[in-house]
Amino acid sequence: MPIPVVTTSRNAAEVGVRTVLVVDDEPTARTALAARLTRFGYRVIEAGDGKVGLEVLRRERPDLTILDWMMPEMDGPSFCEQVRRDPELLSSQVLMMTSHDQPEQIAEGLARGADDFLSKAASKYEIMARVQAGMRTATLIRRLEDVTEEIRKKQEVLERELQSAARYVESLLPAPGRLLPGVQMVHAYRPSLGLGGDLFNVVPWSEDVLGLYLLDASGHGVSSALRSASFSTFLRRDNLLHYVGSNDPGAVLTEANKQFPLTEDGNYFTIIFARLDLRAGTVAYATAGHNGAFLHRRSGEICWMVRPNLPLGFDQMTTYVTEELPVESGDRLYMLSDGLYEVPDSNGEIWGQDRLKKTVRMFGHRPLAEVVADTIAEAVRWQGHECFPDDVALMGIELTDKVSRE
């Protein structure tokens, strides 16, 4: 029958006094060791066998446990195995006390979870040295646990802030649906880190003219998202009229290039800005280091909207030129981030623009929402997992009614 647990009273109330649990079925040996440890200034708890000792360890969480190898109910090695299997006790420091100090026995004890050994015949100096070494290790582990817990709490706060910021960024995105009479829009947005630097939106100019843009801030995370949000403010209709005085895409990017120079860290923007004019039957566009747009005509032809030039901010003297394409009813305009087609497979091969075009052509003129969703799904299948290495944005605009031309 196990003896009751006994806690010595000396120094027990003192703040900061470290605790040792002594587990031994021999009352004389246990009491003698407890008395010696108490003289060293430790708070000592006693248990008469391994089973009771394990209960005390869970309840009291002492800094160091000293236990005998040979005990009824649960011996020392079994005690250690139980400790190492319990996530709550895993970091506990255990000092095995034994008269069996042969190398093979020590090896067995260490393999089963003991941290150190103490011979029952050890001098008071060795006992003191072993206990102090165990306490140093226990102190370091407790500090590490405290730091880890602090990091975990800060991470939780950061995650909440990131989620809040992500909701804000998503609130800046346009609502899918009818943009103008005869113009429908569907989009998908998959930031790589929960908070992305890609941003797209619609600038309504009049009942038959619409501005569209997709911009990408270099980098990822909070900084990129905040810079994109700041840039989106500049791209509002009233600001463009104030700073640019027109809705010409080339003029818009030329002015933006002056407004948003390289940051001190070398960060920059790439962007495509387009103007869809239903009355003229045209889509005019300008790009700055951005290749992510193409026109999928009703006939099946795909026209990639590319003009090689610098991203914004590299040279304030750069002038961006407007290009123009005719559009008609049934055509679809796709604007996307390069994170969509630059996804690698397991061998590092990039999906690429050609496969993207083939995918969109294969889907044909199925409902626009299906094409957008299934194109994202094809990129996911190519890379073999859901998490994109870069931000992914895809915006599809369809002309559903007859487009007039002046």
What is the predicted pLDDT for the residue at 73? 83
Q: Which residues contact 85 (CB under 8 A, 6 or more apart)?
A: none
What is the predicted pLDDT for the residue at 97? 85
**Helix H or strand E encompassing 354:** helix 352-363
For residues 196 and 186, give the distance between their C-alpha atoms in angstroms, rounded to a whole number: 19
**Helix H or strand E encompassing 187:** strand 183-190
CA atoms 159, 164, 168, 173: torsion sign? positive
Is 193 within 8 Å of 220 (Cβ atoms)?
yes
Please work out, in degrees rounded to the nearest 5, the angle formed at the alpha carbon of residue 215 by the alpha carbons of 194 and 208.
Answer: 120
Classified by CATH at the fold level, domain 6-147 comes out as Rossmann fold (3.40.50)
Which tens digits make up the pLDDT trace of 116-172? 988 888 888 888 899 999 999 988 988 988 898 899 888 888 777 777 777 777 777
Enter the tokens of residue 309. 């030039």
Beta-strand relationship, 293-296 and 332-336 = antiparallel
For residues 194 and 171, give the distance between their C-alpha atoms in angstroms, rounded to a whole number: 14
Q: Which of 159, 226, 227, 216 is nearest to 193 (CA)?
A: 159
List, in sequence order, every residue forming a beta bridge with 45; answer none if it has no partner: 7, 21
Enter the tokens of residue 66. 């000293």
pLDDT per 10-residue tile (average), the chain, 406 residues: 45 65 92 91 93 93 93 90 91 86 80 88 87 91 89 84 73 87 92 75 93 87 81 92 94 95 88 95 94 91 89 92 94 93 93 93 92 95 90 92 59
Domain ranges across the chain = 6-147, 172-399
Other CB atoms within a 10 A radius of the CB of residue 144 amount to: 11
Is 239 within 8 Å of 233 (Cβ atoms)?
yes
CATH code at 172-399: 3.60.40.10
Q: What percent of the residues of the chain are helix, what percent strand, and what percent coil, each to the nearest 5?
A: 35, 25, 40
CA 119 to chain centre: 49
Q: For 168, phi and psi rounded to 5 degrees?
A: -65, -45
DSSP one-letter code for 268? -
Report, in angstroms and rounded to the nearest whole number, the Rg of the chain calculated over CA atoms: 35
Q: Which of 221, 243, 246 is nearest to 159 (CA)?
A: 221
Three-state SS sequence of 120-182: CCCCHHHHHHHHHHHHHHHHHHHHHHHHHHHHHHHHHHHHHHHHHHHHHHHHCCCCCEEEECC
What is the predicted pLDDT for the residue at 52? 93
What is the predicted pLDDT for the residue at 222? 75
Beta-strand relationship, 293-296 and 209-217 = unpaired
Q: Which of 327, 225, 208, 321 is nearest to 273 (CA)?
A: 321
Which tens digits make up the pLDDT trace of 240-265? 999 999 999 999 999 999 999 988 88
Enter the tokens of residue 288. 């700055």
**Which residue spans within 226-338 are E strands per DSSP?**
269-277, 282-288, 293-296, 302-304, 323-326, 332-336
CA atoms 126, 132, 135, 141: torsion sign? negative
Please work out, in degrees rounded to the nearest 5, the angle formed at the alpha carbon of residue 98 by the alpha carbons of 11 and 139.
Answer: 40
For residues 20 and 131, give the distance between their C-alpha atoms in angstroms, rounded to a whole number: 9
Helix (H, G, I), strand (E, B) or coil at 37: helix
What is the predicted pLDDT for the residue at 279? 92
Enter the tokens of residue 41. 């200034």
For residues 185 and 398, give the distance between their C-alpha atoms in angstroms, rounded to a whole number: 6
Helix (H, G, I), strand (E, B) or coil at 389: coil
